[in-house]
Structure 1
Amino acid sequence: MMNGVKKQADESILVCVYYGLNGERLIRRGHKLASLLNCPLYILTVDSKPLDNFDAEKSGYIERWTELANELGVEEFIIRDNEKRPIQKVIAEVAREYNISQIIVGQSAQSRWEEITKGSFLNVLLKEIPFADFHIVAVSRPTEDEGIDMYEKGVRAFIVSEGEQYKIVFTCPKSRFIEGIFFKEIGTDFDNGIFRFSYNNKMHELKIEEDFVLNPEKIPDEYKHYLV
């Protein structure tokens, strides 16, 4: 789906879509970023079923994403169907094949791509694709009329107690800490974003504004006692 416009070769963007209404919004966000950088844009969807076995709803999304890719001049809409390998292996393979430098993935309660933001899977993904910047796009549910916020590549970080508050730091502290992954909001000079960590096999999310935790009630009591 080449659009005939010469683009920069040093950057290329891959948008990963799986299912649902948010796919179109992710594609449009990727297109906006690709336009700003004047670079190629690719779309990837992965499914364990063969394309011929997609249900009517999934087939409808594929059709709409194909139309949108043509409309926006996307370089290629890549469909990896009947895929039995782990998602991160497929994404890594495509990223290498197409020389991808930035990858956009949606995080939604109704999307399988949400797995990418969870614990060890994220670590595996970052190790699989160390050559690309990974952006997690927080997407509102279809029933909500909210926008999308984009976050930078997740980095290792720590939460420590400071007085009666909790603060994020990026070097391993000598005091007690909670270890997790921090996603900084793009376009901010401060450490604003979200911090995710695993506890009792469950992912927890804290909102960070200018280094400090905005929702300390989300920290498990056991951790609060531990950090004191």
Structure 2
Amino acid sequence: MNDIKKRSDESILVCVYYGLNGERLIRRGYKLATLLNCPLYILTVDSKPVDKFDAEKSGYIERWTELSKELGVEKFIIKDNEKRPIQKVIAEVAKELNVSQIIVGQSAQSRWEEITKGSFLNVLLKEIPFVDFHIVAVNPPTEEEEIDMYEKGVRAYIVPAGEQYKIVFTCPKGRYIEGIFFKEIGTDFDNGIFRFSHNNKMIELKVEEDFVSTPEKIPEEYKHYLV
């Protein structure tokens, strides 16, 4: 994709971990990169050095390397023997490569919750605030088909709108709650979930047609703040 890079300011980073989902994410990233006419990078992070990888891990690395060459990926990056939090590593690589979009996937509900908890998202937002996130939730590896739940985790804001609370995507001049909005796939309206951190915990609000449908989950101090 070298000549593609010259024609586009966009760039995509796919973060993969061991499992069947890795190849699916790489192919997803390739399709998006082709659509946007931009370069694609693949990143995997491991706390062990490469020469200590077991046969299974080495097999995945070999396959991803072959696939990257097959698809013309700009660069396949292996960050091994890495002791820092994975989100710090992702942020560092994204900055170095001037990445504009990041794709992360998880294969089960527990992993989805892990990847979208406050610490992960908050660090990435602070480190690389102008990157769009695509967080893909899929069924466990035993399932044949990948199921997308949400797309484009993007920075958003909750603001008061009369007696309700509305989601907006341009930083408002008044008071607001800042967080990340995950839009449901296949909807024309802003339906999905809005997540923000409060007292080191992640608060999740359901959004239906631009408005918060679970206002009771907003902490009282935030409600008073927004008035």
TM-score range, shorter chain: 0.7 to 0.9
- Count of residues in Structure 1 that have an aligned counterpart in Structure 2: 217
CA RMSD of aligned residues (A): 3.6
Label 1:100 to 1:66 Cα distance change in 2 as closer, same or farther (>3 A): same
TM-score by length of 1: 0.74
Matches within 5 A, 1:107-186: 107-109=106-108, 115-130=114-129, 132-142=130-140, 143-144=142-143, 145-149=145-149, 151-158=151-158, 168-170=166-168, 180-185=179-184
Structure 2: state its 5+ residue gaps: none
Partner of residue 38, structure 1: 37
Change (3 A) 1:126 1:190: same
**1:14 & 1:114 partners in 2: Cα distance?**
21
3-state SS, counterpart of residue 154 of structure 1: strand
* Equivalent residue, structure 2, for 1:12: 11
Change (3 A) 1:123 1:15: same
C-alpha distance in structure 2 between counterparts of 1:47 and 1:78, whole Å: 11
CA distance in 2, matches of 1:99, 1:187: 29
TM-score (ref. length: structure 2): 0.74
Partners of 1:103 and 1:184 in 2: CA distance? 16
Q: Is the 8 A contact 1:16 1:104 kept in 2?
A: yes
Does residue 57 of the first structure (1) align with residue 70 of the second (2)?
A: no
In 2, the alpha carbon distance for the partners of 1:90 and 1:123 equals 14
- Give the match for residue 104 of structure 1: 103
Secondary structure of residue in 2 paired with 1:64: helix
CA deviations over 1:93-112 (Å, ceiling 9, x no partner): 21222222221122443786
Identity %: 69
Q: Is the 1:159–1:179 contact (alpha carbons within 8 Å) kept by the matching residues of 2?
A: no
Q: Which runs of 5+ in 1 are unaligned?
A: none
Alpha-carbon distance change, 116 to 167 in structure 1, aligned in 2, over 3 angstroms? same
Secondary structure (helix, strand or coil) at the match of 1:66 reads helix
Sort the Cα spacing of 1:150 and 1:112 in 2 relative to 1 into closer, same or farther, 3 A.
Answer: closer
